[in-house]
Each structure stands twice: as C-alpha cells, then as structure tokens.
Structure 1
Amino acid sequence: MKLLSKKVTCNSHGQDSSYFLGWQEYEKNPYDEVRNPRGIIQMGLAENQLCFDLLESWLAQNPDAVELKKNGESIFKELALFQDYHGLRAFKNALVEFMSEIRGNKVKFDSDNLVLTAGATSANETLMFCLADPGDAFLLPTPYYPGFDRDLKWRTGVEIVPIQCKSSNGFRITGSALEEAYQEAGRRNLKVKGVLVTNPSNPLGITLSLLELNLLVNFIAAKGIHLINDEIYSGLVFKSPGFMSIMEVLMNKKYMNTQVWNQIHIVYSLSKDLGIPGFRVGAIYSNNEMVVSAATKMSSFGLVSSQTQYLLSAMLSDKVFTKNYVSENRKRLKHRQQMLIRGLRNAGIGCLESNAGLFCWVDMRHLLSSNTFEAEMEIWKKIIYEVGLNISPGSSCHCAEPGWFRVCFANMSEETLNLAMQRIKIFAKSISNTIINGRDSNQYSNKNLRRKSLANWVFGLSFHDHKYER
C-alpha cells in the first residue's frame, strides 16, 4: 500500500454508494426474458433506447458516413492519422447547430467556444480543473446525480456542498437554500467557486423555471462565482413547461460581453439526446476565452475519435433527419413516461410531476416502516433482492428526505417495463397489507421464509400470464 498514491488508496470515488452497488447486483443476475426471467430488471440506468430504429435507418441510408467515405472515395487515411485536440471543424459546426435546434433555435452557439470531450463526465471534471483548486467547493442542489461525487471530486479534490431542496415545494431551488449552502461552505472553511445545476434535472425529471434560472444568475453575479449548467437532457423535454437554456436567459437579460457572461458555462453530450453513450461525445461551451483555451488543452486526455466525429457530423448535418428524430424521440419518451406513471399508480405509488428526462422521481415514503434512511435502505434491498428491480434510492442522490427513488423507463422494452410494473404492484400490495395489519413481526415466523414467499409470489409472473393493467 505504501508504494501506491493517495488517490489509489482513498475512498472518495463513491463506488460504495448504493447507486453503484445496485448496478453490481444487477450485473450478477441480469434479467433476460428467455435465459433469466427471474433476474433483476435494470431500472437504474438513464439510457435512451427508444429511437435506435431511426438511427439505424439513417445509417443504412448513408453508407458513406459508416464506411468513412466522402463522395464515394475513402478518407480512411485522413481520419486515421493524427488529429489535434481542437476537433473536426465540420463536426463542431454540426454539433452547435444541433444544440440550437433542440433549444428551438432561440439561441445560437459559436463553434469556437466549444470544447469536445469524451462524454459529459469528462466535461464536468475538466471544468472543475479549470474553475477550482483542490479544497474549493461547488454548490449542488439536492437531489443530484450520484455520479457527481466521482466526476467532480475524485481526481480534482473539489468539495461538494449541497443546496438542500425539499419536497414541500417540489424540490425547487430557493434563494434561502442557496444562501444557506453558501454559508455552510463558509462554516467549513471552503471557498465557493461556483454552482452546478442539471437542467433538466437528474433525478427529478423537471426543467428549471425562469424564476430559478434568474435566481441562479443573480446569485452568482452577486457572489462573483461561476455557474455550470449541465444541459445533457435538453433534447428530452416532452411536455410543457418547455426547456429554457441558461444562454437564452443571459441573452434576454442582455448580459453579453459582461463579467457574468464569462462566469457561465454549459455542459452538453449526445449520450442522452441521441442515446449513444458508448460513442463518448461530450462538450463544454463557454464564453470565457481562458476557460476554452485551458479546457481545449486538457481535452487531449479524453478526445473524441475522428471516425466518430466524421460519422456524427454527417448525421447531425442532415436537417430532415434531426428534425424528425427530435420530434419522434419526444413523443416516444412521453408515451413511455405515461406507462411508468400508470403502472406506479396501479400499485398505489405516486411520483413527482415531471416533463423531461429518462426517469421519474418516485415517492415510496408511505411504504417505509419508519421515516428514516435505514428504512429506505431496507425497502431498497427488498426491491433488488426480492422483487428483482434495480432502482436508485434517494439517499444515493443525497436527497434530504427518505423514501424517494429514481426509476428509469427508457432503457428497456415495453414488455419488460410491463413486467416490472407487475412486480412492483405485488410488492407494494404486500408491504401495504403488512403496514395496515401490523403483521411485520409475525406474518411469517422466519425472515428468510418471508423473503422467499414474496419472491415466489413476484416471480410467478410471466409475460404470458399477466397483461399490463391500463
């Protein structure tokens, strides 16, 4: 151990979070309709698999892009040789145009202010390196994406101070919560360098309101700090209220060429909107020349491959395709979200009203044996091991209130989602009966027998025996 670095031996990665532990359990026993029908269904993965048919259709119709050709002539050698870390101009131009398109063309982006990165994970970490020193702090509204503990802190040494948002106002950001987080950082002798928000929110599935966006801009202007807007779900807003980019807010407030203009940065990725996380395409957009320059140099540690850039530049430049894709993707997401909400409602479970993203913020507080995070973990373990669903407990998202869970709906087939809803309905009914009848201690004489009985009941389901209740 003495021969290794402190980074290797520290425990700041966050891998022991229940968010990652749920993934590990799923990987040990993944559900498959034929090979493993009693396995765990993955509902902890915010992945968009709803429009692969559109992507594959485009690929079939555009063989030159796939085969690395231009006008029928191979450009393999050109792409295979060294590319500098500024990226292909054609791809950067296509990407900023796509970013404008999914924002309703209300704002325009300059490709010279865009830095390509290997996914949003790399983009967020790069911004931490650019904006903060080890021991400095960023404020994040809760609940937030569990991976931020890894992305923002692990290698940078930056600290996260939570902005505590509450269910009483739909987990909206307030001025008092912002100020309290700022003061808490001061009590911990941490220098606050900025605020990071995800809009639309992961895990809440909601867009930030104009009130919240103006509040954030005014706050960072008053404090003289940065604001990072992670907008990787910006193309996944499928019902009103619509999405408003922070760039639109700045332009409406006529902040161009002011100091605040240089304090605000956007993170974007094609992982969610196009559903291609394996391609590792992310980006930083900033009007701060020094940040763009430094981030561009740092991007050499996580470049997007030339063949990926070439393929996607052709795809995103096809305006007929992108317009149809964005529209159809939103329709399918809305339908799938409604399926999840309907299934949860049939199980007596509600969720936060949402309008975006790949997940719902699900309220299971009424199923807890007590209003504690220990009771939340107890429910979570039952759902994984007995019900066979991997969902993310609110505590892994740093939610201040026990009993909330993030449940994803776009990374599986409709048939699998139907089955998951049948499983959760049986589970919720069994828990509710236990609570109502007060039989938790004596319903079965043996805890393992109780677990086995519920599991057998749940896994007695099959696609052929049960239809989704509409």
Structure 2
Amino acid sequence: MRIPSIMRHLVSHHHLRPAIALPPFATGSCNSVCNSFVSSSSALGATASMSSASSRGSNALALLPNYLVDAGGIEFYDERAAPEGCLQVSIAENHCVAPMMVEKVNDVQRNSVFTPDMIYYQNTYGMAGCRESMAGFMSTIMGTPSQIDPEQLVIGAGCNAVLENLFVALCEPGDEVLLPSPYYATFSFDLGCRAGVKLRETEREWSEVELEGNALTRAETYYPQIEDLELAYQRGEKKPKVLLLTNPHNPLGICMPKSVLDGLVEWAMGKGMHVVSDEIYAGSIHGQGFYSLAGEASKNQNVHVVYALSKDLGASGLRVGALLSSNEEVLAPVRKLNDLCQVSSTTQQLVEKMLGDKEWVAGFLKENMRLVRGRYERVLEACNEAGIKYLECDGGLYVWLDLRPWMREGETEKDLGSRLIKEHGLLMTPGESMDMRCDGFFRLVFTAVGDAEFELVLERLRGLA
C-alpha cells in the first residue's frame, strides 16, 4: 500500500475521475483513465529524475500504491475493439444507477435557473440550500435519531479533500492515526500527502483466519478488537491522536454493529482521542442493518463523520463530500481550509434540488439497494460454482475473495494478480494494497461495469474453477 505510484491513487475509493460529463458512466472511461495515469506516472518519474519536483512533491508519489502501474500496457475490454480484453473491477464506482442518475441530473438542469449571485463567491463551507438537502439525505441513510443540523456540515470537493482538511485541523505534521487493518487503500495519501499525518495500523495475523465453506466461521472475527488497538496504541513513542474507522468497511464490506462501535468510541474517548468514521457507503446497504456514528457526532465533540455522494449515487465525478462535526474548534479551521476545495455553485444547486426531491430519493435508494443486492448475490453464485471462498457482507459495492488456493508454489500475490489479468481478464484490487497481511485476498467491485460487462465478469469468475 505504500509503494510509489500514482496509479493506486485512482483505484479504490473516492477520487476516480477529474470531472463529470453528461451523459457519464461509460465503461470505457475507467480504462482510459487507467492508461492516462500510467502515462502520467512515467512522465512524473522523468520529471523527478530532473530534480524539478520538490521533495514534498516527490513524497506525494511515494505515498501512492502501484498495482495499476504494474498493469500498464494491458488491453482493456472493449465490445468491438477488444472483446477479450481485461475487465476493470478494481475501481469502486456504481454503474448500476447510471440511467437513474443521468435522467435526474438532466431533469434538474433543464428546470434550473442560474441566478446572478451564483457567479460570485459562496460560503466556503457550502451554500445553505445544499447543506440543508445534504443534511436531510444523510439523516435518512444514516438513520440518525434526529435531523442533522446543516450548521454542523462542511461541504467540500469529495471525501479526500474533506478528510485532508479534517486531519489538518486535528493533527500536527508527524502525528499518527490509528486504524484497523485492512483498510481503504489511499488513506496513506489522503492523510499523509499534505497534512503530514502517519498511519499506525493494527497487526493482526490474518493468515490464521480461515473460511469454512463459503462464509466466515465467525463474522465478528473481522471486527476491530480492543486488544489489537491497545497493542498498536502502545507501540511507538508517540500516542495516536485519532482512531479512524470505515463503516461499512472498505474493503471487507461488513457493517459493525452498535455494540462494537460503542466499545470503540468508549475506548478512544478513554485515551483522549478523536474518532473519525468514514461512512461513504452508508446508502449502499444490501444486507442487515447499518449503524452510523452520525448521531454520536452530532453531540460528541470528539466524534466526526465524513461522507460523499460518490458511491451511493454513483456520482464520483460531481466531487461532493461532507464533514459532520459538532466541534466548533474543529469546524472553524476546516471551513477556512475548505476555501481551497469548494464545490462549484452550479454543482451545489444541482445537489440541493436533487436531494431535496424526497420522493425521488426514496425511490432511488430502494432501486439502488435492489440492483446492488442482485449483483452481490449473482457474484456469490458464480464464486460458489468456481469454488471461490469469500467474506459475506452487508454493505459496499464489492466482495472480498480468498484466492489463496489459486497461488502456485513460490508465487506471490503480485504474481497471482498478473495471472488473473492475463489468463482470466480480471483486474481486481490486491489485498496487499489495502494492508491485508496475508497474501491471496482480492477485492472485486461488482458495480464497476455495465450490465453486459457484468455478465462477462461472472463468466470469467466461473472460469477460475
């Protein structure tokens, strides 16, 4: 996860495309982005060798992972030009909802009026109407006991920007953040690039976790354990300032129950730490219930929640993220830092009108759950046919596969990943890139492609048998 490259920066979570274009969501766009980033990585490497970049700039590249760079030169799938090409199922985007989103965005734009005041500077932390609609939407998907206060929200250009600004406000350069392993691939970049924050991971021996049949023997085995957190907390001279969680979990897809989250918050509060919960998949629940820390963040000044529209609405190109916090001492600097990454007035108007349509939101969330659940179940069926073990989950857009039996003697996870690409036409996220301390696990994003390509994904999974 900490190997130099600019490619894994785009693979996993929040920042996958520079901008949205309507109609968006073309399957080929992911492939072209991958190829362009490989080229950019080479160019940046050449620039660095000429000493044109600062050490700080070079360090930004060093914080990014590299498995897509290793995959450079791959011919990606194209229905006509490359029907045998590789299918990109490592980028966490939701292509299932593309038709609904494109229709709604076009409808809102047709019926919107660009007013003179929208030309000028807006509140650095978000226009009032946008924050109100976002507060209502987040209250719905996060099931808060009361409506989220829009004044406790900061609207920024995606989860990455929001996270970075939050950690600038919470930490000094060189401070450490504690987080359970495995974790979202580019936290190292988001927190370390400019905020200068370091990660301190738990060190569980995941090789000891065995799968029985096609389900975990004990799902709770993957929940963060206080004992592991305590060991990691005591490791090193500095004490971590923040406990960073993802729920629903990325890459595992599990949703931590209230009892577990309450215990984690209580432990962190006892250490005088802040808790940050990344809940970007809060509206992509396809199994059992999801418990959010948003209610706690609304009243506990040391608990903060980050969210974005990238996953649940399939709108990674809109670049709309949010911080929820009741701590004015934290909100004040974040509001000012957000001056560097505001969301445009036109996008905020779109979000206000789209999320303000309660009837549409209710129908969208219901249909999204149906579509995501349908794909999840079909992937599991294909895995069962191929004898692939997996982690059953309740949220997210992906499934965690145990491909250890496919590793040949003396083969590394990187070797296996290369074979999966060349022999089976599947580019998945390797576990190593997410600090999984046991070779052979991969994350497959089952919403990363359109319907026709998804059928090919299933066919190629079955081909692993």
1:90 alignment counterpart: 129
> Cα deviation per residue 1:424-468 (whole Å; 9 max; x = unaligned)?
333x33xxxxxxxxxxxxxxxxxxxxxxxxxxxxxxxxxxxxxxx
CA distance change for structure 1 residues 378 and 4 in 2, over 3 Å: closer, same or farther? closer
Q: Which residue of 1 aligns with 2:56?
A: 7
- Provide the TM-score with structure 1 as the length reference: 0.82
* Counterpart among 279, 290, 295 of residue 243 in structure 1: 290
Decide whether the 8 Å contact of 2:253 with 2:393 is kept in 1: yes
In the alignment, the residues of structure 2 paired with residue 411 and residue 295 of structure 1 have an alpha-carbon distance, to the nearest angstrom, of 32
Secondary structure of 1:279's aligned partner: coil
In the alignment, which residue of structure 1 is the partner of 2:233?
Answer: 182
Match for residue 313 of structure 1?
Answer: 352
> For 1:220 and 1:306, how far apart are their aligned partners in 2?
38
Cα displacement (A) at 1:281 = 0.2
Distance 2:188 2:79 in 1: 34
Which residue identity lines up with residue 384 of structure 1 in the other structure?
Answer: I
SS at match of 2:443: strand
> What is the SS of the residue equivalent to 1:278?
coil
Separation (CA, whole Å) in 2 of partners of 1:340 and 1:124: 32
The equivalent of 1:233 in structure 2 is 281
Report the residue type matching 1:226 in the other structure.
Answer: H
Alignment partners' CA distance in 2, 1:421 and 1:208: 29
Aligned residue identity for 2:129 = A
Match among 13, 35, 38 for residue 81 of structure 2: 35
Q: Which residue of 2 aligns with 1:360?
A: 399
Structure 1 residues 226 and 41: alpha-carbon distance in aligned structure 2, compared to 1, 3 A threshold: same
Partner residue of 1:397?
434
Shift, 1:264, TM fit: 0.7
Alpha-carbon separation, structure 2, partners of 1:208 and 1:404: 21
* Cα contact 1:12–1:153 (8 A) shared by 2: no
Alignment partner, residue 200 of structure 1: 248
Q: Distance in 2 between matches of 1:409 and 1:103?
A: 23
CA contact (8 A) 2:297 2:305 kept: no
Q: Map residues 133-152 of structure 1 onto 2, 5 A cutoff.
A: 133-152=172-191
Q: CA RMSD in A?
A: 2.0
8 Å CA contact retained: 1:13, 1:154 = no
Distance in structure 2 (CA, Å) of the matches to 1:267 and 1:43:
25
Deviations 1:342-399 (A, max 9, x none): 11211110210101111001111222235x8x52221111012232211011111001
Task: Report the 3-state secondary structure (helix = DSSP H, G, I; strand = E; otherwise coil) of the residue aligned with 1:234.
Answer: coil
Q: CA distance change for structure 1 residues 325 and 396 in 2, over 3 Å: closer, same or farther?
A: same
Partners of 1:107 and 1:247 within 8 A in 2? no
| Deviation per residue, 1:252-285 (Å, 9 max, x gap) | xxxx4xxxx1111110101111111101000111
Say yes or no: does 1:44 pair with 2:90: yes
Overall identity of the aligned pairs, in % = 32
Between the aligned partners of 1:105 and 1:225, the Cα distance in structure 2 is: 23
* Counterpart for residue 432 of structure 1: none
The AA in structure 2 aligned to 1:395 is E
CA distance in 2, matches of 1:56, 1:378: 39
1:462 match: none
Separation of aligned partners in 1, 2:182 and 2:342: 30
How many residue pairs align between the two structures? 404
Instruction: Give the C-alpha shift of residue 105 in structure 1.
Output: 4.8
Structure 1, unaligned runs of 5 or more: 430-470
Structure 1 position 298 matched with structure 2 position 337:
yes
Write the letter of the residue equivalent to 1:14: L
Distance in 2 (CA, whole Å) between partners of 1:377 and 1:105 is: 42
Contact 1:362–1:407 under 8 Å retained in 2: yes
Q: For 1:6 and 1:135, locate their aligned partners in 2 and report how far apart those are by CA, in whole Å.
A: 16
Go from structure 1 to structure 2 and tell me whether the alpha carbon gap of 1:414 and 1:304 turns closer, same or farther (over 3 Å shift): same
Task: Flag the 1:123–1:60 CA change in 2: closer, same or farther, 3 A.
Answer: closer
Match of 1:418 among 415, 438, 455: 455
Distance of 2:230 and 2:433 partners within structure 1? 24
Per-residue Cα deviation, 1:399-440 (whole angstroms, up to 9, x for no partner): 1121111000012123312212322333x33xxxxxxxxxxx
Aligned-pair CA distance for 1:250: 6.7
Return the alpha-carbon distance in structure 2 between the equivalents of residues 212 and 425 of structure 1.
Answer: 36
Distance in 2, Cα, partners of 1:107 & 1:314: 22
Kindly tell me: are residues 269 and 4 of structure 1, through their superposed partners in 2, closer, same or farther at Cα, counting changes over 3 Å? same
Q: Distance in 2 between matches of 1:368 and 1:222?
A: 43
Task: Give the structure 1 partner of residue 261 of structure 2.
Answer: 213
Distance 1:136 1:60 in 2: 45
Residue 2 (structure 1) shift: 5.4
Corresponding residue SS for 2:166 = helix
Q: Compute the TM-score of the two structures, normalised by the length of structure 2.
A: 0.82
Bigger-Rg structure (1/2): 1
CA distance in 2, matches of 1:11, 1:89: 34
Q: Which residue of structure 2 aligns with residue 274 of structure 1? A: 313
Q: Return the match for 2:375 from 336, 340, 352.
A: 336
Equivalent AA in structure 2 for residue 176 of structure 1: E
Rounded to whole Å, the distance in 1 between the matches of 2:431 and 2:102 is 36
Structure 2 residue corresponding to 1:406, chosen from 443, 457, 463: 443
